[in-house]
Amino acid sequence: MERSSGILLHITSLPGKYGIGSLGQEAYDFVNFLVVSGQKIWQILPLGHTGYGDSPYQCYSAFAGNPLLINLEKLVVEDLLTSADLPENIYFDNEKVDYGKVQNVKYPLLHKAYENHKSQKNKLRIRQFENFCSKNKKWLEDYAFFMALKKHFKGAPWTQWEHDIKIKKQETFDYYQHRLEDDINYYRFLQFLFYKQWLELKAYANLNDISIIGDIPLYVAFDSSDAWANPEIFDFDERMNPNNVAGVPPDYFSETGQLWGNPLYNWEKLKETGFQWWIDRIEANFTLYDILRIDHFRGLAAFWTVPYGEETAMNGWWQKAPGAEMLQTVFDALGDLNIIAEDLGVITPDVVELRNKFNLPGMKILQFAFDSGEENDFMPHTFEKNYVVYTGTHDNDTTLGQYLQCSDEDKKLMHDYFHVDKDDPSWSFIKLAWFTVADVAIAPMQDVLRLDTHARMNFPGKASGFWQWRYTKNMLKEKHSDDLLKITRLYGR
C-alpha cells in the first residue's frame, strides 16, 4: 500500500438521531472530514448483524449487514417511510448506544418500510430487489431463513429449535419455508436496504479517494446462519454441539485467557470443498471493502483449541491450521487482494512465515511499545515499511486513558524516546505514528478527539458494556482537520 494515513471509526459511533450511527448524512460528513484532513483511509469494524452482547465480532452471519445501521431519513426520501413516521420526543443518549432501545424504535419502522414496499409495487425497486436477491443468493437465503426461524422460535439459539429443523430435515425445511415466507422476504429486504445504502456511501468515499478498510473476524458466531446452514465445516459432534471452541491463552488482556466460544473449523472438510466457503466469504467482503483486515490472523497458522464446556481458556492447546493452503486457494480464485494481517497476540515464527509468504502487511501498536518492564518489537525504530501502525485499536484503552494510568517508569521511557507533550499525549502518539516508516498510519477517532478511558470501545474478554461509544457533532472542530492535514503533509502521507 502507498504511504498514507486514516482514521478508525465504526459506523455505530457516528453522530445522528435515533440512538446509533447510521449510513446517513453524518457518514458522508465524516468522509468530507477525511478529505479536508488529507486522509486516504477510513477503517471500520465488521458491519455484521450483531447478536447477544452487541459485538460486531459475534454476528448472525459472516455476510449480512446490520439492519440497525440503515438510515431512516433515506427511507423517507425513497418514499418507504413518511416524515411523520420518524420518532419524535424519544430521548437517546448521544454519546452511548443503547442497543435495546434502538432495536425497539428502529425495527418496527423497518418493518413498516417493508410493508410499504409490498403495497407500493414500485417496478424499479421490485426489479432492483430481485436482482439483489439473485446476486447474493448463496448467503442471503440461508441468512433470511435463519433469521425468520429465530424469530419464530422467540430468539432461541438454533441448537434449541425443533429437532427436525435444527438438522434441516427436508420435509420440515419445506414446511417452514412456506409458513415463514413473508418473514424470510422481510429479512431479504433489510439486506437489500443495507447493501444499497452502504455501497452508495462506499462509492462516495472512493470517489473522494478514500479507501475503506473492513474487518473480517476469523471465526463465526456459534448462533449464526453459517453454523446452522453449514455444520459440516465446523468441529461439531452428532448433536451439533461443538467438540472444541475458540479462544486465546493468557495474554496482555486476561490472566485466564479469552474464551470466545466460537466454533472451530473442520479444516479437513474445508479442504475437500476447495475452501469454497472461504472463497465466497472473502469475495463477498471485497464487495463491501477496498482493503480487508483478517482479525486473529495467527489462527490461520495455528489456533488455540479449548474443550467445549471449559469455563476459561487456560486448558487449551495449539493446533496447526492449513492457512497457507487456504490463502493460496483464495488468491488463485480471486486474484491479487489487499489484505492486512492482524498479527497481534502470541506470535510464533510460523505466523510470521505465513504473513511473509503472501507479503501481507502486519500491525504495530504504539501503545504496546513503551513497556519498561520487557522488550518488544513495537518500538518504532524496529518498524519496516510493510506495516500498518496504530496509536491503539478498538481493543485498547484510548491513548490518553492509557497514558494517565501508566507507570512513571513507562512515562520516562516515552519521554526519553520521543517528545511526549504531557498535556496532550494523544496528539504526540498520532504524530509519532505518522512519522514512522510504516506504509500506513491509523488513529482511532477517540485519539483524534483526545478522549480518555470513558470513550473506550471494547475490553477483550468482557462480555457486556462495550461497543457503545459515540461522538457528537460539536466534538469535531475545524482545528482537528487542520492539525491532521498539517502532519499528514509534513510526514508525506
pLDDT confidence bin for 109, thresholds 50/70/90:
very high
> Is the pLDDT reported for residue 463 higher than 80?
no
Catalytic, 295? Answer yes
pLDDT score for 67: 98
- Given 142, 226, 395, 447, the catalytic residue: 395
Q: How far is CA 77 from the centre of its chain?
A: 28
> Is the pLDDT reported for residue 102 higher than 90?
yes
Between 128-132, 213-217, 372-376, 391-395, the lowest mean confidence (pLDDT) is in 372-376
**Mean pLDDT computed over 92-105:** 96
**Mean pLDDT computed over 6-30:** 97
How does pLDDT run across 220-266, given as a tens digit for each residue? 999 999 999 999 999 999 989 999 999 999 877 788 888 999 999 99
pLDDT score for 345: 83
pLDDT score for 465: 80
> Residue 9: which of 39, 54, 53, 52 has the closest Cα?
39
pLDDT score for 464: 74
- 4-409+438-490: CATH architecture: Alpha-Beta Barrel (3.20)
**C-alpha cell, 352:** 510470521
Phi–psi pair at 319, nearest 5 degrees: -135, 135
pLDDT confidence bin for 346, thresholds 50/70/90:
confident
How does pLDDT run across 270-297, given as a tens digit for each residue? 999 999 999 999 999 999 999 999 999 9
pLDDT score for 471: 97
pLDDT, averaged across the chain: 96
- Given 183, 215, 342, 397, the catalytic residue: 342
pLDDT confidence bin for 462, thresholds 50/70/90:
confident
Query: From its phi and psi, is residue 384 left (phi > 0), alpha (psi between -120 and 50) or beta?
Result: beta
How does pLDDT run across 404-454, given as a tens digit for each residue? 999 999 999 999 999 899 999 999 999 999 999 999 999 999 999 999 999
> Is the pLDDT reported for residue 164 higher than 80?
yes
Catalytic, 342? Answer yes
> Is the pLDDT reported for residue 30 higher than 90?
yes
> Is the pLDDT reported for residue 371 higher than 90?
no
Share of the chain above pLDDT 70, in %: 100
**Mean pLDDT computed over 40-51:** 97
How does pLDDT run across 372-416, given as a tens digit for each residue? 877 788 999 999 999 999 999 999 999 999 999 999 999 999 999
Residue 403 contacts residue 355 (beta carbons within 8 Å): no
User: Which amino acid does the sequence have at 87?
Assistant: P
pLDDT confidence bin for 268, thresholds 50/70/90:
very high
**Mean pLDDT computed over 108-122:** 97
Catalytic, 374? Answer no
Residue 275 contacts residue 282 (beta carbons within 8 Å): no
Distances (CA, A) of 248 to 143, 263, 298, 347: 28, 13, 10, 12
> Residue 119: which of 72, 86, 79, 85 has the closest Cα?
79
Q: How far is CA 2 from the centre of its chain?
A: 23
**C-alpha cell, 348:** 510464533
Share of the chain above pLDDT 90, in %: 93
Query: Can you give the length of the chain in residues?
Result: 493
Can you tell me the distance from the alpha carbon of 86 to that of 164, in angstroms, rounded to the nearest whole number? 41
> Is the pLDDT reported for residue 461 higher than 80?
no
- Given 295, 343, 439, 447, the catalytic residue: 295
- CA dihedral over 92, 93, 99, 101, signed as positive or negative: negative
> Is the pLDDT reported for residue 201 higher than 90?
yes
pLDDT score for 460: 85
